[in-house]
Amino acid sequence: MTESPREHVERTADQPTRESADQPTQESAGLPVATPAELRAAVRELLRPRRGLTLSAVAVLTAATAVGLLTQPLLGRAVDVVAEGRPAGDLTWLVVLLSAVAVVQGGALAYGLVLVSRLGETTLARLRERFVDRALRLPLDQLERAGSGDLTARVTGDVTLVAQAVRNALPELARSALAIVLTFGALALLDWRFLLAALVAVPLQVHTARWYLRHALPLYTRQRVAVAGVQQRLLETLGGARTVRAFRHHARHTARVEDSSLHARGLTLRGVRLVISFYTRLHIPEFLGLAAVLITGFVLVRDGSASIGTATAAALYFHSLFTPVNAALVLMDDAQSARAGLARIVGVAHHGLPEPVPVDPPTAPGDVTVAVTALDHAYEPGRPVLRDIDLALRPKERVALVGASGAGKSTLAKLIAGVHRPAAGRIRRAGAVGLVTQEVHVFAGPLADDLRLARPEATDAELRAALDLVGALGWAEALPTGLDTVVGAGGHPLTPAQAQQLALARLVLTDPPIVVLDEATAEAGSTGARSLERAADRALDGRTALVVAHRLTQAATADRIVVMSEGRVVETGTHDELRAARGRYAALWDAWSDHRTTR
Amino acid sequence: MTGRDVLRRAVVGQRRRLVGSALLGAGHQAGEALTPMLIGVIVDHAIAEGDSGALVLLLGALGVCYLVLSFSFRFGSRIGERAAETAAHELRVDLVRRVLHPAGGAERGRLPGALASVATEDARRVGVVLMALVLGFGALMGLLVGSVALLRISLPLGLLVLLGTPVLLWLGHLLSKPLERRSATEQEAAALASGVAADLVSGLRVLKGLGAETAATDRYRRISEDSLAATLRAARAEAGQQGVTLAVTGVFVALVALVGGRFAASGDISLGELVSALGLALFLLTPFQTLAWVNTELAQGRASAARVADVLAAPWAVEPGGEPPAAPVRGELAVRALDHDAVRALDLTTHPGELLGLAVADPAHADTLLRCLGRETDPAGGTLLLDGTALTALDPAALRAAVLVAPHDADLFSGTVADNVPGAAQAAALAAAGADALGADTQAGEGGRALSGGQRQRVALARALADDPPVLVLHDPTTAVDAVTEARIAAGIRDLRHGRTTVLVTTSPTLLAIADRVLLLDEAGRVTAEGRHADLLRDHPDYQRLVLS
């Protein structure tokens, strides 16, 4: 059964949206999109190792379609047997042939479809592996400029879009196109005048298809955005139900969902109307073509240049064209959006690998593990975030970075971790830097797999030891199936504090000599924060560490405290030294410990 | 409420559109059935006879037939789709209304993603049921017209087609069933690859922080290979299914040609009637297939309707209805012998107008107490009272207008900061929460995620303060805020809440210091100390350990 109008619109809308995920401003800032020439080159490159497969897929599908086209002349021949009053026994072998055609066609089609899917799916798998590989190696600063929404949209939206096209549209389109071309050929074989009659429909069909594409793509884009908007608003509202109830905002939030749902309904119905009009407009060339073929049959039979059976076969051919023509025309918009998706995937996948931020060891590695000299940084020209920073971390020293919001602490931490390249100045590191921020992510899958991302060869005992060190072994073993419990999206939910403990356990497993902690303990409640701080303490043991902290107790226990203000380092020293100096740190400490006993 | 009720309400609500759409759909299908028949008639009466007058006349009839089927299709589908979309939309809004209902309970045991999927996917499926009913009716009508036409041509041939077609479809179904089953499980495995890729990309910063890009790529490659293998197996199954269907249909048409041809040869039916019969045999596959589709849609729609009904009929978390609190609210909150979850026999009282600090050693106890105070749940044992009236006797929404419990992990919503902080006291609240520098027109983004953790927390606090309730309960409102700002916020809360009951559940000394009175709940959840912050700090080692570690 061919697709209903609504199924078409909804399937198109189900294709994950990207328009809503990334703003145009981010698009322009950000990730590359392949040009048509690059796209062609990439597709050629992907298909080259599978040239044999490509050829045999095309050949088998063509054969299947061609065999299938024997049906109509055989039926026509049956009509002729009757018309010419030949013995009914002649019918039997025709019917045997018809059955054979059906069986061969079915078998060849199945085999051809298997070949097409092997070709499409293998190519797609290679492409997506390459995409993920390149995506994971994109420099973070480029990613932050582009907004991670764009990359996420490409990996969820575009990959699925192309996969669906490969899985559904590609075989269907190939079959339909072959059926159309070969049917026209078969009509010509019956009599070239039947082909002429059938071609009457073509200009109208082309015109209708153009009209449809012109309207469909912009409308579906808007509709996809609207449907994604409903989804987003629902997630936000239903996820925040407790807050909505606490503030008695239920009427307001229900109205917000209602508005966006109505908006999406309106656009969906407009899309449905468009597809319906498209089908309805296709009825006109269908009728005109059928009438032309019948008239031709009438004329040819009357002047004796064709048999009634041939005229019947021609009419049946044309009638059997309706389905593939409609299918091919309506799949065009799928093909177009898949092409756009492919351009965005290829843009990342065939992008050259960036040169890694060089590990540039300090000149005197014995005394210093990280050396920052004359560092300046700005995200936008003219708005400096860091100015003239000099800082050296000694081996196994723990340095706390303190300052009010906006002082530049996080930027300095990111630069030292190698996330950004400094605008000016130099950072030397004696080894790999592990970075843990307050952004937590639990990777979907078994808990043990999550940890093994940090060290793939780790034994179970090592995993347990790492969890134990950060105080997470207790709850991890209490999970339904212990370390094999599936966590992350769709799995067993973890609290933010547990997720942060996992992050610290991964750090322990990675075992980097240098660690940067950026407010890694801020998201938990005040009691939770303290146990996380203790876990972080143990995880940092024996490493050179730079810790960005809000809670001054974390600073107070550090070997050295660096106070920042407006992008500069304004004070450096131990807790006691800085308190005695009565400067900014002392003021901060007083504000914080105003109500705490003196230490 | 059951799934059946959901479906019935959807059908009854859209009955006018459904009737109109079904009638037009029947017209469309009748037209589709007449087309192959007319081709046969044209072959018979015009082409075979060489009668040009008949040709013009019959082509005119074909034109009229097309006009009718085109018109019926156009308007029938439109009306039907509108009915389906409208029913889905109304269900969606009903579901949201139920989840947000003050008495709560609908989201218990369901993740937001699962609820959202009920409100989108399941609501949509219920809508599709309406469309399936309409199309099913049309298919029956097409079947009826096609059958009458066939039976008029020849009774035995008609019976062969009418009885043969269901057998054929059943046979195809039987042959492809194992393939279908296999395909479904394989599709699931295939979907994994894109899920894992998305997951890795959303954890990209974490991976980079660990330098684990290679490990992640290797893992993805393995999963992608497994998915590929599964997808190929699924594709093989599907291809087999299509091939089988095609072959079986072809053999069936051949059979009809054989029987029809013999009748035509013996003169029982005319040549054109043979052509009509062949065309009708091909056409009749469609309504039967439509009916099979309707059947699966109905099954899926019933399952969806049952899930919708489950949410709509979820038991209340707390009893809805009840009195509003007596006005004016004095603001005396009392907890008497509270027994719930880990909390045992808890007693405490806030005096009207005081700023009470609650230093709770076990976060689970704090959470339980707050959920009971906000009537997210009613306690298993004991009573909570507002100005001497049990909370369970009060209307949940009216109670929350009097006693606002602002949770620690409060959610923000898309819109500006100002949208998130409604209320007359907006400016003062933003200032007190230290969120004034943020700018009221700043976009908070989806779920407030355009803001940093600290900014979100301050906006959430401002929202609670702007609500200006007689009793305000705040839970850990400043954990993501730096020390200087926290001190400023503490002073702001103190000023803004002056003279009205405020409860601060926190272990932050900065906040506890502004309280008129502080209660310490120890690890066992009992009140073990009471006094001013400074005194407790001096006299109580447990308290000191809790707030100063």
Is the CB of A109 less than 8 angstroms away from the CB of B361?
no
Arithmetic mean of pLDDT, A332-336: 77
Is the CB of B414 less than 8 angstroms away from the CB of A233?
yes
Contact A503, A521 (CB under 8 A): no
Which is nearest to A423 in space by CA: A392, A393, A382, A391?
A382
Lowest mean pLDDT among A40-54, A133-147, A233-247, A347-361: A347-361
Name chain A contacts of B520, Cβ cutoff 8 Å.
none
Q: Which helix (H) or strand (E) holds A409?
A: helix A409-417
Name chain B contacts of A262, Cβ cutoff 8 Å.
89
CA B26/CA B6 separation, integer angstroms = 26
Arithmetic mean of pLDDT, B247-276: 85
Q: How far is CA B379 from CA A223, A291, B345, B376, in A?
A: 46, 78, 11, 10
| B345 phi/psi in degrees, rounded to 5 | 45, 50
Is the CB of A71 less than 8 angstroms away from the CB of B408?
no
What average pLDDT does the structure give for chain A? 83
Arithmetic mean of pLDDT, A423-436: 87
Amino acid at B61: A
> Tokens standing for A153?
């949209």
Q: How far is CA B318 from CA A261, B95, B308, B394, B401, in A?
A: 29, 18, 21, 11, 16
> Tokens standing for A39?
């796209």
If you count residue pairs, one on A and one on B, with CB atoms under 8 Å apart, how many are there?
478
Q: At what angle do helices A201-239 and A308-349 cross, to 10 degrees?
A: 40
> Tokens standing for A271?
């899309």
Give the closest-approach CA distance of A123 to chain B in angstroms.
Answer: 10
Q: Is the pLDDT at A448 greater than 70, yes or no? A: yes
Which is nearest to B407 in space by CA: A133, A79, A240?
A240
Q: How confident is the model at residue A164 (pLDDT cuts 50, 70, 90)?
A: confident
Name chain B contacts of A488, Cβ cutoff 8 Å.
199
CA A541/CA A538 separation, integer angstroms = 5
Domain ranges of chain B: 1-144+291-317, 333-548
- Exposure pattern of B514-534 as b/e (b: 16+ CB <10 Å)? bbebbbbbbeebeeebebebe
> Which chain A residue's Cα is nearest to B78?
A273
Report pLDDT for B252.
Answer: 84
Report pLDDT for B98.
Answer: 96
Name chain A contacts of B52, Cβ cutoff 8 Å.
298
Is the CB of B197 less than 8 angstroms away from the CB of A159?
yes
Could you tell me which residues are beta bridge partners of residue A383?
A: A380
Q: How far is CA B395 from CA A41, A101, B317, B320, B374, in A?
A: 68, 75, 13, 6, 12
Q: Is the pLDDT at A26 greater than 60, yes or no? A: no
CA A332/CA A433 separation, integer angstroms = 50
Arithmetic mean of pLDDT, B337-360: 93
> Hey, what domains does chain A have and what are their CATH numbers?
24-349 (1.20.1560.10), 370-593 (3.40.50.300)
Is the CB of B47 less than 8 angstroms away from the CB of A529?
no
ipTM of the complex: 0.87
Is the CB of A236 less than 8 angstroms away from the CB of B413?
yes
Q: What is the pLDDT of residues B360-399, one digit of tens each?
A: 988 889 989 999 999 999 999 999 999 999 999 999 999 9
Look at phi and psi of residue A525 and say left if phi exceeds 0, alpha if psi is from -120 to 50, else beta: beta
Lowest mean pLDDT among A151-160, A256-265, A481-490, A558-567: A151-160
Report pLDDT for A368.
Answer: 76
Stated pTM of the model: 0.80
Is the CB of A234 less than 8 angstroms away from the CB of B271?
no
Question: Alpha carbon B249 to chain centroid distance?
Answer: 40
CA B143/CA B292 separation, integer angstroms = 13
CA A314/CA A319 separation, integer angstroms = 9
Going along A478-543, which residue ranges are E strands? Answer: 486-487, 514-518
Amino acid at B324: P
Name the more confident of B374 and A368.
Answer: B374
> Tokens standing for A553?
């107790």
Going along A416-513, which residue ranges are E strands? Answer: 424-429, 433-437, 445-446, 486-487
Q: How far is CA A215 from CA A271, A324, B94, B278, B281, in A?
A: 9, 22, 33, 38, 37
> Tokens standing for A73?
């002349």
CA A496/CA A503 separation, integer angstroms = 11
Which is nearest to B137 in space by CA: B37, B27, B16, B283?
B27
**Is the preceding peptide bond at A218 cis, omega within 30 degrees of 0?**
no
Report pLDDT for A537.
Answer: 87
Lowest mean pLDDT among A128-137, A446-455, B163-172, B185-194: B185-194
Is the CB of B77 less than 8 angstroms away from the CB of A512?
no
Reduced to 3 states (helix: H, G, I; strand: E, B; else coil), residue B404 is: strand
Q: How far is CA A225 from CA B95, B118, B515, in A?
A: 22, 20, 49
Reduced to 3 states (helix: H, G, I; strand: E, B; else coil), residue A511 is: coil
CA A506/CA A198 separation, integer angstroms = 68
* Residue to test with chain B: of A17, A134, A245, most B Cβ within 10 A: A245
Arithmetic mean of pLDDT, A130-145: 80
Arithmetic mean of pLDDT, A365-387: 81
β-pairing, A398-402 vs A383-393, is: unpaired
Arithmetic mean of pLDDT, B153-168: 85
Give the closest-approach CA distance of A525 to chain B in angstroms.
Answer: 6
Q: Is the pLDDT at A357 greater than 70, yes or no? A: no
Instruction: Please tell me which of the candidates B47, B201, B407 has its beta carbon nearest to residue A308.
Output: B47
Reduced to 3 states (helix: H, G, I; strand: E, B; else coil), residue A522 is: coil
Report pLDDT for A28.
Answer: 39
CA B355/CA B334 separation, integer angstroms = 14
Name chain A contacts of B266, Cβ cutoff 8 Å.
88
* Residue to test with chain B: of A71, A79, A401, most B Cβ within 10 A: A79
Give the closest-approach CA distance of B140 to chain A in angstroms.
Answer: 15
Name chain B contacts of A348, Cβ cutoff 8 Å.
none
Q: Is the pLDDT at B518 greater than 80, yes or no? A: yes
Is the CB of B487 less than 8 angstroms away from the CB of A594?
yes
Burial class (CB in 10 A: 0-12, 13-18, 19+), A585: buried
CATH code of the region B333-548: 3.40.50.300
Question: Alpha carbon B27 to chain centroid distance?
Answer: 36
Could you tell me which residues are beta bridge partners of residue A375?
A: A389
> Which chain A residue's Cα is nearest to B195?
A156
In this structure, the dihedral spanned by the alpha carbons of residues A481, A483, A489 and A494, taken in order and rounded to 10 degrees, is 90
Q: Is the pLDDT at A272 greater than 50, yes or no? A: yes
Q: Is the pLDDT at B292 greater than 80, yes or no? A: no
Q: At what angle do helices B271-312 and B213-265 cross, to 10 degrees?
A: 140
For chain B, what is the largest distance between any 2 Cα atoms, rounded to a whole number of angstroms? Answer: 117
Contact B510, B349 (CB under 8 A): no
Is the CB of B397 less than 8 angstroms away from the CB of A454?
no
Name chain A contacts of B275, Cβ cutoff 8 Å.
79, 312, 315
Is the CB of A113 less than 8 angstroms away from the CB of B262?
no
| A458 phi/psi in degrees, rounded to 5 | -65, 140
* Residue to test with chain B: of A94, A223, A248, most B Cβ within 10 A: A248
Report pLDDT for A354.
Answer: 63
Give the closest-approach CA distance of B134 to chain A in angstroms.
Answer: 12
Percent of residues, chain B, with pLDDT higher than 90: 48
Q: Which helix (H) or strand (E) holds A226?
A: helix A201-239
Q: What is the pLDDT of residues A389-410, one digit of tens each?
A: 999 999 999 999 987 777 788 8
Is the CB of B235 less than 8 angstroms away from the CB of A117?
yes
A388 secondary structure, DSSP code: E
Instruction: Please tell me which of the candidates B116, B243, B400 has its beta carbon nearest to residue A109.
Output: B243
Q: Is the pLDDT at B60 greater than 90, yes or no? A: yes
Instruction: Please tell me which of the candidates A5, A261, A490 has its beta carbon nearest to residue B93.
Output: A261
Q: How far is CA B225 from CA B71, B202, B230, in A?
A: 50, 21, 9
CA A283/CA A275 separation, integer angstroms = 13
Q: How confident is the model at residue A526 (pLDDT cuts 50, 70, 90)?
A: low
> Tokens standing for A366?
């014995």
| A86 phi/psi in degrees, rounded to 5 | -75, 165
